[in-house]
Copies of this chain bind each other. A is one copy, B any other.
C-alpha cells in the first residue's frame, strides 16, 4: 500500500489516460503506445489491460478527458448569441489544453457525458431563440464541430512538438509558398504571413467564431417569418 517510488505514480485508469495525454503533447499521438505506457509506469504492457479494455477504449477515454476542463462562461438568461459564443469559446479553450490529442475530440463530442450535456444546452438555447428543430440541430452540431475544427487548424499548431520546432515548421511552409511562381500565386504569396503564422491566436478564434455567430443570426432573422417560435 505504500508508494514504491514517489516519482512513479500508482497505476490506474486515470493515471494512464493522463500520462497518455502528456505523451501525446510532448511527442505525437502515435508515440502513445500500450508498451510505452507500461514502461513509463514500470510495469509490463499487459498490466494496462486490467485498467483499460483495449487501445481503442484508451483513445476514447483520452478524447473524453479533453472535455473535462470545459467551462462555459455565460448564464442561461443571457442573449442566445452571447451564450452560443461562450459555448464555442469554452470548447476551444478546453481542447487547446492538449494539442497532441485534438483529433480525438471529433468522435467523442457527441458521445461523452460533457459533450451530450453541452449539446443539450445548445439545442435548448437555440430552440428558445426561435430556431426551427432542423435548424437548431444543424447549428448545434456546426457549433461544436467548429470548435474542434478551429483548434485543429490553428495556424502554426500542427503537431505537439517543441515550441521553437513549431517556428521552424512555419518557416518551412512560408518558404515553400515563397517558391511558388509569382505570376500564378500573387495573392497567396502576399497573404502567406496571415495563413501560416498566427501571431495572435485569440484574435483568430474570435474572428472565426464571430463569423459563425453572424451567420446564425442572419439565418434566424431570415426564417422568422416562416417559423413560429415554440
Contacts and interface: CB of A to CB of B under 8 A. Distances in A.
Nearest to A127: B187
A110 B140 CA distance: 28
Interface residues of A, number: 54
Given A106-B152, A127-B187, A133-B191, A210 B214 contact: no
A35 interface: no
Contact of A119 (B103, B124, B188, B212): B188
A144 to B, nearest CB: 9
B185 A138 contact: no
User: Main secondary structure on chain A at its contact with chain B?
Assistant: helix
Contacts of A218: 214-215, 217-218
A207 to B, nearest CB: 5
A187 B138 contact: no
Contact of A214 (B138, B145, B187, B215): B215
A124 B187 contact: yes
A139 to B, nearest CB: 7
Given A133-B191, A191-B136, A210 B219 contact: yes
A18 interface: no
Nearest to A113: B180
Contacts of A54: none
Contacts of A117: 184
A185 B133 contact: no
Contacts of A135: 207
A134 interface: yes
B133 A190 contact: yes
Given A103-B103, A136-B187, A211-B216, 6 more contacts: A116-B180, A116-B188, A120-B184, A142-B208, A145-B153, A211-B215
10 contacts: A110-B195, A120-B187, A123-B188, A127-B187, A133-B194, A138-B207, A210-B215, A214-B218, A214-B219, A217-B218
**The 3 residue pairs across chains A and B that have the minimum distance between CB atoms:** A215-B215, A137-B194, A123-B187
Interface of A: 103, 106-107, 110, 116-117, 119-120, 123-124, 127, 133-142, 145-146, 148-149, 152-153, 155, 158, 173, 180, 184-188, 190-191, 194-195, 204, 207-208, 210-219, 222
